[in-house]
Structure 1
Amino acid sequence: MSTPWPELDYFGWRDTCSALHLYLQVAGKYRLAHTPWVNHSWHATFYVTPRGLTSSLIPDGPGIEILFDLHEHQVVGTAGDGHTASFPLRPMTVAEFHTDFCGLVSDLGGSPKFDGQPNELPNPVPFTKDHRDRPYDRDAVRRYHRALVSIDRVFKTFRTSFLGKCSPVHLFWGSFDMAVTRFSGRRAPLHGGGIPALPDDVAQEAYDREVSSAGFWPGGGGIEYPAFYAYAYPAPDGFRFAPVQPDAAFWHEGMSEFILPYDAVQAAEDGDAALLAFLQSTYEAAADLGQWDRDLLECRRGRPSIVRPTDALTNPDTR
């Protein structure tokens, strides 16, 4: 039987990971160009499915969904009129992927018009000019997807114990992180921007409310191993010194976030419980130090087939 927390060797699949990130950026920029803006860029994200990552329905042409099938290793487009088109994920250049992707959208009756520059990467190379040969490690991609399925399960469980505004569990193709974010309901100070290859107004809109956010990176961007993260914006006084769980979690000074290495979850006797402890303890630190109205915002963690009791507002049980 396969473990729900597969081993992830970032250095072993780093180049494939970078390639998959850029391929998702191409598809993400297409979705971004054709989808009305939703708060905090939620309209541009991808979602985990049993087979890979989906864009959900994009309002272009007859309506188009893009699926990165990480089991059969292909990009599959499905149109609202029933037509499908696909091409294989394989060793290729980003420019080749861009050409194949635009052809797929055209075949489905869509308009492949979108910005051709990557976001949130230093020194971005336009998609059509990126001719570097990139590998494609099928086994590593499958392990990454299996990890995402487990992460999606735990993040969604964590999400159930919050009554306030909360993001979907989704993957941002810009920074290539899977995230879930809770909101206090209060406005936040204007964000300073400065994120590489991302307009300041996008970052400022994303952080215009107080947040406690957690997520997962496969590696890169200052963390050369797969890891979970948690941060608050604005970070309340004393946040970095808050006690968090499990023992493997720590405050990363350079990134100003709590970090939990994926390996600690993968090696834990109960990986789900270890990750839930990290999510809950970092949120509680942000909420308590930030003086969130927890009685109003929280409820008992959801259980299958059991309606949330009406007294959960005043008697939250997140065990």
Structure 2
Amino acid sequence: MNARGLTTSAIPYNDRTFELQFNFVNHRLELRIADGSDRAFPLEPKSVAAFYHELFAMLHAASIDAQINPKPQEVPNPIALDKDETHASYDPEYANRFCRILHSTEKVFQEFRARFIGKASPVHFFWGSFDLACTRFNGRRAPARKGVITSEAYSHECSSLGWWPGGGDVKGPAFYAYMAPEPSGYGTKPSLPAGGSYLEAMHEFLLMYDDVRRAKSPSEHLWWSVRERYQSSFLILPVCLW
């Protein structure tokens, strides 16, 4: 993330460096290049295929030969990006609201991360599932899992929290917390905040975003919800529950 939206961060390319930024303030997809030869095009209603071809035309014009797998990940019934004429919406107001939610959430997550002296991921955004997350590790290997994503993501014991726009059984945006592997009795821990619940099917604690938003002090309510509440023999240091 940055002040205007989402970014790939700096990407090395031969002897050059560039980044792509979704600017949700001015509503532009911006190509920033270290040599100053920046380019951009507007974010507006257009098909995914049209966006895909416009993006790669912009990269080609900047002499950047990038290649990606055009098959979307972590979505049901994926349509190749360069052929998707079905999805074509863009609402500037809600794109900006989404960005503001990420900014306010990131502030709390950064404080949460800063209080942990062990290994922790940056506060980062998952492009596949569109969640903002932070994960703590204790350094111990976890039982092996199957799957291209989960075998690497959960190769070591960890505790994660995040914000997610929702989907499936979760009808709306929510904050979540989980541990992997899940300790025995994890879902029965007491002292949930108002609006908090444990979703057995996902093995995650959830706190709906609207409950936080309506709190007297949303940031304090969220911070209380994610700070360390107990010591567990599962991790060397305190971990996030609620």
**Corresponding position of 1:179:** 133
2:235 alignment partner, one of 292, 303, 307? 292
Structure 2 residue identity aligned to 1:252: L
Name the CA distance, whole Å, in 2 between partners of 1:169 and 1:243. 27
Structure 1 residues 89-108: aligned runs within 5 Å: 89-108=43-62
**Corresponding position of 1:263:** 210
Relative distance call for 1:121 and 1:133 in structure 2 (3 A) is closer
* 2:68 paired with 1:125: no
1:250 alignment partner, one of 193, 197, 203? 197
**Corresponding position of 1:109:** 63
Aligned to 1:167, the other structure's residue is in SS state: coil
Name the CA distance, whole Å, in 2 between partners of 1:125 and 1:57. 28
Query: Does the 8 Å CA contact 1:85/1:107 hold for their aligned counterparts?
Result: no
- Normalising by structure 2, what TM-score? 0.93
CA deviation after TM superposition for structure 1 residue 94, in Å: 0.7
Aligned to 1:68, the other structure's residue is in SS state: strand
* 2:199 paired with 1:223: no
Name the CA distance, whole Å, in 1 between partners of 2:11 and 2:226. 31
Name the CA distance, whole Å, in 2 between partners of 1:223 and 1:60. 40
* 2:161 paired with 1:214: yes
**Corresponding position of 1:3:** none
Query: Does the 8 Å CA contact 1:217/1:227 hold for their aligned counterparts?
Result: yes
Structure 1 residues 1-319: aligned runs within 5 Å: 48-61=1-14, 62-192=16-146, 200-281=147-228, 284=229, 288=232, 290-294=233-237
Aligned to 2:140, the other structure's residue is in SS state: strand
Query: Does the 8 Å CA contact 1:78/1:108 hold for their aligned counterparts?
Result: no
Q: After superposition, what is the alpha-carbon deviation per residue over 1:129-166, rounded to whole angstroms, capped at 9, x for unaligned?
A: 11114221111111111111100100001111101110
Structure richer in strand, relative to its length:
2
Q: After superposition, what is the alpha-carbon deviation per residue over 1:220-252, rounded to whole angstroms, capped at 9, x for unaligned?
A: 243220101111100000100012442211101
Structure richer in helix, relative to its length:
1
Runs of 4 or more above 6 Å deviation = none
- What is the count of residue pairs matched by the alignment? 238
Aligned to 2:29, the other structure's residue is in SS state: strand
Name the CA distance, whole Å, in 2 between partners of 1:234 and 1:244. 21
Structure with bigger RCO (C-alpha 8 Å, 6+ apart): 1
Q: After superposition, what is the alpha-carbon deviation per residue over 1:88-128, rounded to whole angstroms, capped at 9, x for unaligned?
A: 11111110110011112222221121111111112211101
Name the CA distance, whole Å, in 2 between partners of 1:148 and 1:118. 22
- Normalising by structure 1, what TM-score? 0.71
Name the CA distance, whole Å, in 1 between partners of 2:52 and 2:187. 42
